[in-house]
Each structure stands twice: as C-alpha cells, then as structure tokens.
Structure 1
Amino acid sequence: MLDAKLQEQLKAYLANITEPVELVASQDDGAKSQEMQQLLETIAGLSDKISYVRADDDARRPSFLIRRAGTDIGVRFAGIPLGHEFTSLVLALLQVGGHPPKVSQEVIDQIKALEGDYHFETFFSLSCQNCPDVVQALNLMSVINPRIRSTSIDGALFREEVEARKVMAVPTIFLNGQEFGQGRMDVEQILAKLDTGAVARAAEKIKAKEPFDVLVVGGGPAGAAAAIYAARKGIRTGVVAERFGGQVLDTMAIENFISVPYTEGPKLGAALEQHVKEYDVDVMNLQRAVKLIPASAPGGLTEVQLESGASVKAKAIILSTGARWRQMNVPGENEYRNKGVAYCPHCDGPLFKGKRVAVIGGGNSGVEAAIDLAGLASHVTLIEFDSKLRADEVLQRKLRSLPNVTIITSALTTEVLGDGSKVVGLTYKDRNSDTEHKLDLEGIFVQIGLVPNTEWLAGTVALTPRGEIQIDHRGETSVEGVFAAGDATTVPYKQIVIAMGQGATAALSAFDYLIRLAPEEKEVQAA
C-alpha cells in the first residue's frame, strides 16, 4: 500500500515521535478492513514507538484510533486516510506522539481555554483538497485539549451514514451530533465559531495598530505577491484577508504555473502564506473588508473598515480581493446549496457515485468536471447556455466519447427542484424553441465562471458593469493612492501567474507613489 520510497520518508518523519503511540483498530471481515490492517501494520513497523492492536471497540468498521499510550489523547479515522488525507494521518501520528504543533502559542492557549465537551465528526472524501485543512485543525485541537474529540469519516466508505445524515458536500462537520459547518475551515476559523469573544478581541487589537505605509486587502496570489514586494522595500506593510490563499485554495490541479509542472491549490496557498511570513508583514486573517473611505486630501490616510468593527488606515491601499464562483441565481439554488447543488466536483463528486447529475457550463471547467464525474455518476448531463461548447477541442472530444454523458446546448437553467431536504432535479428552457424541460437529478455542479469580490467598493473606485475594478497598466485605480491587482480587476485572463505579476506591479506602483509623497511630507513637518 505504501511503496518503499514513501515508507522511507514516513520513517524519517516518525523519528520525531517522543511518546508511545497505539493504533487501535476496529475491523470486520471486509476487504477494506484488510487494507487498513496492512496500512497500520506497515506504519507500526516503521517506529519502535508505535504499536498496532485490534480492539473492535468502534461501531464504524474499518476505523482506528491513534492514541497516546496510557492517556485519553487521540484522534480517530473511520476509513483509510490516503489520497489527500495521508498528510492528515502523518500529522496526527506526530502530534499524538508528542511532536509540537506548528501553531502560535496564542492559538494553543485559546484551544486549551475552551470549556465544555466537544465531539467533532468530519465527513471527507479522499479527492477533496479542502478536507485536510478541517481534519488537521480538529485533530490538532483534540490533541491539545482532551475534552475535544475528533473523528474523521470517509463519506465514500460509509455511504449509509452519509445518506442517513443527509451529507451532500464535503467537508461537512458535526459537533455533538448537530451540523456545525461545511466547507474549508482552518483552526482559527473553527475557534472563532466556538469562542464568541475571539472576534471582538481581534478587532480591538486591530484598532490599536498604527497606520501602514501599504495595506493589502486580500490574501490570494495577487495579495501575497503585493505584500512581499512591498515588504522588500522596507516599508510598513499589512494584509487583511478573509482567508489567506483565496480562491486558489479551491483549485485542484495546477499545471501551468511556470517552473512548477504540477501542484495543487491548498499546497500553493500554504506556500504563499509561508513566503509572506518570511518578511515583516502584519497579516490580519479572517477579516472581511466592508467599506473603503478614501483619503480626504492627497497624501492622507485611506481607511478600510472591517466587518468585525475594526478599521485599518494606510498611506496606500492595494485591492486584491479576487473572485468567487458565479452562481446561476435561479430559484432553489441557495436553498439546496450543499444539499445537491455543488461547486467543487473534485470535493463532492464521490458523494454522487451511481447517481444522475448535471454540470452547468460548457467552458473548460465545466467539461473537465463532466469528464471527472462521468467516472463516478450513473449519468451526467452537461447544460450550456451558448449554442456550442466553449472548452478546448481536446476536452470536447474526450467528453463526447463517454457513453454516459448527454450534452445540451442553447439551454437556460431556470430552477433547481428539491423535496425540502435535497435536490431532485432542475428545469431548463430551450432557447431555440422557448420550451421548458425537466431533468430528474440528484446533483448539480455549477461551473459558470467567477464574479469579482467588489460589491463593497461600489461608489468609491470605478468599476465596470461586471464589477471589475478599473485599473491602468500600473495598477492604479480611479482613486489616488489606491491600487488593485488580480482577478478582481479589468486585467484580462484570470490566471494565477498573471495575478502574481499584477500584485508585484501594484506594489511597485504604490512604493513609487509613496516616495513621491515624501518631499511634501517633509516640507509640512518643517513648517
């Protein structure tokens, strides 16, 4: 199950374990239990501090508990955590085994201070790139605070439970039997939901900060590049971000990032954050900007107000708020979001194995999603508004070769249909005949592009009818001292590498703006 090279790498990691660890298995006679036993025995053979024992003390089988010997400290996996979750398995082994976690002391103290008993159950899929963040965060919390328990469940393996608990998107988190949240969350986001005073405390800290030379709003590729370039100039730089990494965290395979033949969004997002932290940049995460107040006079301070109630001021602002998945905006879409309406085929596709699904959108993303889903679903219907597909020809040929795919063009989706708890179908209008049609479905994957996160800027900087921030070749907006970069702007071709270049351009332009202000400031001070 683990090749020789991977075993050697894992053995090197496990050398960091300082406390004895037990792998306590619950199995049946099935093939998956045998696979799990093989994996656990292999791991136990790589370290003299790890032992394997079969207990059959958990109702979910196959499952296993990673427990610090002689204690209640441990985490449980129901299933075989390979694929994207292999890293979660390795980290759990290290942390249960006494290796210190890579989080701040402030976060550790906040976890320890949580009162009450918390049992988290997280449903994941092995192909979900967002799931490991949640699994690893909750595992970490359970190791630090013994009153917190974490069980991570492979939804594809425990399908009856998935159906019974109406899990239709991953990651889905239950706390003490009640749904707690869906989608990617890191440890700070989870703590913010549990510790109601965390937001207010963070806001107070932000309010006390001195004005920045440059403030970057947004933590995606453009924002990270802007922060690095600004900090390298030796000026006081801050970043406010709703989630560091941005939309790239929801991206699966990245094969066009120059010099890197292949990577994945979460991996790139983590690398961006680590690179920014190499510099003296004040990163304020989990902060949503809600209003921009331009400086009252040239060279003055521009203010960014945050949803938390805090505000930040700076001499120059770089807007890099990125974009989000575009919605169909039809009746039923919001009601059945994560109840059959999904936006990530890689994450949620395994939950629709053997079911009938639709993909909305005939661009590259839509056609790629349909191809992927065709290997899992019983049937895939691709619906495209235009009279023809817009994806690359090689993708179209692959799609048309699949026997369980139907392509419908010149079609406008008009409504998502459900039974109150889940999707049961959709209606669409044939744009040629103006007739209405109904499709019986159990899942709908929306892949119709992106919309810029700029609603909060309306009335301050000039926007296009599509909501994009209008910029020139230097990244300057219509407001003096305010620059912009990335997918939220009018720059053509929304690509990671282009966003990074635009972020660098905006930072260099902001620095040029600041140094040209310096003589005037000195004259005012001298007066």
Structure 2
Amino acid sequence: MLDANLKAQLQNYLQNLTSTVELAVFLDDGPKSKELNELVQEIATMSPLLNLVELDGSNERAPSMLVRSVTNNTEIRFAGIPMGHEFTSLILALLHSGGHPIKLSEEIIEQVRNLEGEYAFETYVSLSCQNCPDVVQALNMMSAINPQITNVMVDGSVFSQEVYSKDILSVPAVYLNGQPFAQGRMSVTEILNKVDVNAHSRQADTINKKEAFDVLVIGGGPAGASSAIYSARKGIKTGVVADRFGGQLQDTMAIENFISVKATDGPKLVASLEEHVKEYDVDIMNGQRVKKIIESDVPGGLIQVQLENDAIIQTRSAIIATGARWREMNVPGEQEYKGKGVAYCPHCDGPLFKGKSVAVIGGGNSGIEAAIDLAGIVSHVTVLEFDTSLRADAVLQAKARSLGNVEIIMNAQTTEVLGNGNHVTGLNYLDRQTNETKSVELAGIFVQIGLVPNSQFLEGTVDLTPRGEIITNNHGETSVAGVYAAGDVTHTPFKQIIIAMGSGATAALGAFDYLIRTPNAAEEELVVEKETQAA
C-alpha cells in the first residue's frame, strides 16, 4: 500500500510514540475496505506501541478506522482512506494519540481541555483539497486533548450518498453533533471562538494587557511574514495580528516561479514562512481581524489598532499587509448558493462535481487553468468570458480548446445564479453581442475573476485608489505618518508572491527608518511626568 519512501518516513515519525495507540478498522466487502485494511495492517507493524484491536462496528461507517489513545482515552476517526493531502493528518493523529507533544500554545491547550460538554465533529473532505487537512488536523488535535471531543474525517468521494443527502457541495464542511457548523478553512483558534462563548472576551483581555509595539504587522501572508522578519531582525518589539497566517497563499497550489525553489505549493510555503517568523521574538496574534486604525493626535504618538473583539493594540508604527481575496460576481443568487454549488477553489471542490456539468467564470490564467483541471473530473465545462477574447496565456488556451468537454463562450456577462433552494441548478448570462439573455443548466459554478484588496476597514483612514488599493510611496509609506503597507493590498501593478515579500521588506525598513527619525511622544510624556513628580 505504501511505497518504500513513505514507509521509511512513517517509521521514522513513529519512533516519537511514547504511549500505546490502538487501531481498529470497520470494513465491508468493497475494494476500498480492502485498501484500508492493507494500510492499517501495514502501519501496525511499524511500532510496538501500535496495537490492532477488534471493536463493534455496527454503528460505524465502512470503510473507516479508529485511532485511540490508551493513556488519555481519546478517539480520532477516518472514514475512507486517509491518503493524498490527508496522509499527514493520519500521521499526526497517530503521534498526538501516542504522546507526542501537540504544537499549540499552553493557553490554547488548556482552553481545549477545559471545554465542557460533548462535541462530535464530522469533517467532510476531498483528498485533493489543500484546505481540508488544516481543519481535520485542528479538530484532531482538539480530540487528542479532550476525550469529550471526537472528530471523523469523511472522504466525500467514498461516502457520496451521505454527501448528496446533506447537499454538501463545498469542502471542508464541518458538522457538530449532527448539525452544520462551518465551511472552509479554520484554525483551532477560530473553532474555539465558535464553541467557547467566553473566548472573545478572554482574548480581548489578554491583548489589551500587551505593551505597545514598535511595529505591528497586520496580515500574515508573504508580505506580512517578510515585514515581521525584517522588523524583528532590527531588535525592535514586533507583533503580527492576522485573520489566518498565510492568507491567500494557503489556497494556492502549484508555485513554480518562486526564485530558487523549482516547485512547491502554498501550504508548504506558508509552513516555512511561519517557522521562519517564529525563529524571532515576534508576538503572533492569530485568528484576529482588525476593525479600524486610529491615527495618533500628536507626531510620534501611539497608533491604536482596534480589533473586531474591541481589543486595542498600541504601536508606534504599523504595516498593513492584509492581501486580497477572490472577487465575487455580485449577482442575484451568488450569496444564497455559496457553498451550495457556487465555489472559488476548483482543487478543493472539483471532486464533488464528478460526472456533472459546471461553469467557470473568467478567462484569465486562473479561469482557464480551472477549466483544464475540472475537465478531467466533470462531464462538461462551460467557460464564460466577459470580454471578446481570453486573457490566459496562449499555451493554456490551446490546451483548453483541445479538450472535447470544454466550451468557451465570449461576450458573456453572468447575470444570475439559479437554484432550487438547496443547490445550484444553472445560471443566466447576457450575450453582450446580441443583447439576448441565455441560460445554462449545470450543478456548479467556479468563480475565477481576479482579486479584491482587503482594505475595507481603512476607508477614510489612508488614501486608496478607486479599486480600494492602498497608495504607498517607494518606502512603503501611506498617507498616514507611521503607517506603511505592502503586498497585494497596495497599488503595486503586479500581484506576485516574490513581489509581496520584497515590498514587505521595504515597508519594514521604511517603518524602522521612521522610528529612528521620529521622537517617541509616549516616552517624552513619561519623562516630563517623572520630572514634574521629582520637582
């Protein structure tokens, strides 16, 4: 089942087990059950601390497997075969159930341990989804800490009837105690914010007690990570506040133009970035969104950054690196059917539309790449391009046109998403040449029409372009003294990872230059106060 390389890696990892882990399989007569049984039998031979046990499987999905900690009595399940992107989830489940330390802060571990009540999570995934493992691993870690929490990864392609009955058309899809809980990538912090009613107030109290930073980086993508590293290397007090570390890079698959690295993917690069940032004394506040920035009333005074939980962070300078997000169509039905047929990640959600007809909105590189990828899974792909010609590279256009199940329609303006209340059934578009409204029957719509800067919280604070991009000078400085910006949220004409990293370094150096040239108003006020008291 496992090739020699994977087997060697797994045996090496399993040397870190310190306590007994029980494995159980629940099988039927199908070929997938045979594959899973072979996998579990093979894994069980790799460590004396792995024990195969027989359990009653009458209420279990088949094929599925159970990973149980004998010491902590915790349980983690995998329904289907946890290979592909989920193989790492299986390895971590074995390690965490066998006593290997969990890479979460003591504060988070204690918060998970103290959760009261029973939490039975089900996480529906596709093995080609790069976002799914983060959610599976987050819930598995929680399950390995608290016996009252369980999680089962469910491979949607194996349990397609279950997925169909629940109208799941986007992964990862998480259910809690049988009810829909969340869709999309989530961290442990975000999950805790939803299940722990006091989490927000505790986080706000902790953040409010922090001393002022010299530099506060807002955003954890390539630009934010670069800014944090360059700032910390200057020996100044540096903090990072981010909705999710890695940002949009987490959703990027093939990366082949990152200089010195021939090929990688977004999640791998994000892991490397986070590891590099953590090499320095940087205070990372993950799972937090900024509500607004309040400019100081005096030159060199402290800038206030207000979070959505109403916590206030004070800093002498700030670097905004909030990146961009997928642009939406803004047509009737899009919001109603988001996650019910309207999708933005073909790698994640494509397998859920196997054998069905879908549309791709957009004829740029991302749109045509999506069409090519989907063509190998679905029965038919209709590409709708607003303009008179495609904007994708010629080689991509040639590949798409060579595929028999890909249809490209120009001059097409999508006007409405159609559905039956549960999921997408089609769309309407305007033929801009004939001014005629036409309809297409389909099961899924993949939107690939570019990016929108994440700058809404800055309106009225710093100067923005009509597109909402932050205007900066060649030092990365915005229109507000002490506030800098970097990456895709700025008006830089090229949105590339390597350019974002470079602009992050520029903004950090610009902020440092500002700090050494600008008197610290807060310190001066303290000196005056002490002198007054002495007198």
The corresponding residue for 2:389 is 388
Q: Map 1:334-483 to 2 at 5 A.
A: 334-483=335-484
**8 Å Cα contact 2:300-2:519 kept in structure 1:** no
The corresponding residue for 1:259 is 260
Q: Map 1:100-499 to 2 at 5 A.
A: 100-499=101-500
**8 Å Cα contact 2:361-2:446 kept in structure 1:** yes
Closer, same or farther: CA 523–77 of 1 in aligned 2, 3 Å: closer
* Deviates further, 364-373 or 19-28: 19-28
**Which residue identity is paired with 1:175?**
L
The corresponding residue for 1:44 is 44
CA deviation after TM superposition for structure 1 residue 382, in Å:
0.5
Q: Map 1:3-82 to 2 at 5 A.
A: 3-53=3-53, 55=55, 56-69=57-70, 72-82=73-83
CA deviation after TM superposition for structure 1 residue 13, in Å:
0.6
Give distance in 2, aligned partners of 1:318 and 1:80.
Answer: 43
**8 Å Cα contact 1:26-1:58 kept in structure 2:** no
* Structure 2: gaps (5+ residues): none
CA deviation after TM superposition for structure 1 residue 249, in Å:
1.0
Give distance in 1, aligned partners of 2:371 and 2:188.
Answer: 33
Q: Secondary structure at the match of 2:193?
A: helix
1:56-108, CA deviations, whole angstroms, 9 ceiling, x for partnerless residues? 44442111111234874221100001110000000011111222211111111
Closer, same or farther: CA 11–57 of 1 in aligned 2, 3 Å: farther
CA deviation after TM superposition for structure 1 residue 521, in Å:
8.6
Give distance in 2, aligned partners of 1:506 and 1:70.
Answer: 49
TM-score, scaled to structure 1: 0.97
**Which residue identity is paired with 1:203?**
A
Closer, same or farther: CA 413–523 of 1 in aligned 2, 3 Å: closer
**8 Å Cα contact 2:72-2:147 kept in structure 1:** no
Closer, same or farther: CA 514–369 of 1 in aligned 2, 3 Å: same
Give distance in 2, aligned partners of 1:127 and 1:362.
Answer: 23
**8 Å Cα contact 2:299-2:521 kept in structure 1:** no
Q: Secondary structure at the match of 2:415?
A: strand
**8 Å Cα contact 2:300-2:520 kept in structure 1:** no
**8 Å Cα contact 1:228-1:279 kept in structure 2:** yes
Closer, same or farther: CA 70–474 of 1 in aligned 2, 3 Å: closer
Give distance in 1, aligned partners of 2:245 and 2:65.
Answer: 33
**Which residue identity is paired with 1:164?**
S
Give distance in 2, aligned partners of 1:57 and 1:66.
Answer: 17
**Which residue identity is paired with 1:368?**
E
The corresponding residue for 2:2 is 2
Give distance in 2, aligned partners of 1:49 and 1:208.
Answer: 44
Give distance in 2, aligned partners of 1:70 and 1:511.
Answer: 50
Give distance in 2, aligned partners of 1:513 and 1:309.
Answer: 28
1:425-482, CA deviations, whole angstroms, 9 ceiling, x for partnerless residues? 0000011111100000100000001100111111111100000000111111111111
CA deviation after TM superposition for structure 1 residue 21, in Å:
2.0
Sequence identity (%): 62
Give distance in 1, aligned partners of 2:427 and 2:410.
Answer: 15
**Which residue identity is paired with 2:509?**
L
Give distance in 2, aligned partners of 1:188 and 1:458.
Answer: 28
1:241-269, CA deviations, whole angstroms, 9 ceiling, x for partnerless residues? 11111111111121211111222212222
The corresponding residue for 2:502 is 501
Give distance in 1, aligned partners of 2:2 and 2:243.
Answer: 37
**Which residue identity is paired with 2:92?**
L
Closer, same or farther: CA 94–520 of 1 in aligned 2, 3 Å: closer
Give distance in 2, aligned partners of 1:57 and 1:378.
Answer: 36
Q: Secondary structure at the match of 2:433?
A: coil
Give distance in 2, aligned partners of 1:9 and 1:490.
Answer: 44
1:392-449, CA deviations, whole angstroms, 9 ceiling, x for partnerless residues? 1111111011111110011100000011110000000011111100000100000001
Closer, same or farther: CA 408–495 of 1 in aligned 2, 3 Å: same
1:84-138, CA deviations, whole angstroms, 9 ceiling, x for partnerless residues? 0000000011111222211111111111111001110000110111111111111
1:357-386, CA deviations, whole angstroms, 9 ceiling, x for partnerless residues? 000010110001001111111110001111
Q: Secondary structure at the match of 1:475?
A: coil
**8 Å Cα contact 2:213-2:316 kept in structure 1:** yes
**Which residue identity is paired with 1:416?**
V
1:487-523, CA deviations, whole angstroms, 9 ceiling, x for partnerless residues? 0001121011110100000000110111111499988
Give distance in 2, aligned partners of 1:94 and 1:235.
Answer: 37
* Structure 1: gaps (5+ residues): none
Q: Secondary structure at the match of 1:487?
A: helix
1:251-288, CA deviations, whole angstroms, 9 ceiling, x for partnerless residues? 11212111112222122222222211111111111111
Q: Secondary structure at the match of 2:310?
A: coil
Give distance in 1, aligned partners of 2:41 and 2:121.
Answer: 27
Give distance in 1, aligned partners of 2:311 and 2:524.
Answer: 32
**Which residue identity is paired with 1:42?**
E
**8 Å Cα contact 2:19-2:71 kept in structure 1:** no
Closer, same or farther: CA 402–143 of 1 in aligned 2, 3 Å: same
TM-score, scaled to structure 2: 0.96
CA deviation after TM superposition for structure 1 residue 297, in Å:
2.3
Q: Secondary structure at the match of 2:143?
A: helix
Aligned positions, number? 527
Q: Secondary structure at the match of 2:203?
A: helix
**Which residue identity is paired with 1:183?**
G
Closer, same or farther: CA 65–58 of 1 in aligned 2, 3 Å: farther
Give distance in 2, aligned partners of 1:212 and 1:148.
Answer: 37
* Deviates further, 72-81 or 497-506: 72-81
Q: Secondary structure at the match of 2:466?
A: coil
**Which residue identity is paired with 2:322?**
T
**8 Å Cα contact 2:301-2:520 kept in structure 1:** no
Closer, same or farther: CA 233–65 of 1 in aligned 2, 3 Å: same
**8 Å Cα contact 2:363-2:385 kept in structure 1:** yes
Give distance in 2, aligned partners of 1:373 and 1:447.
Answer: 13
CA deviation after TM superposition for structure 1 residue 22, in Å:
2.3
* Deviates further, 171-180 or 31-40: 31-40
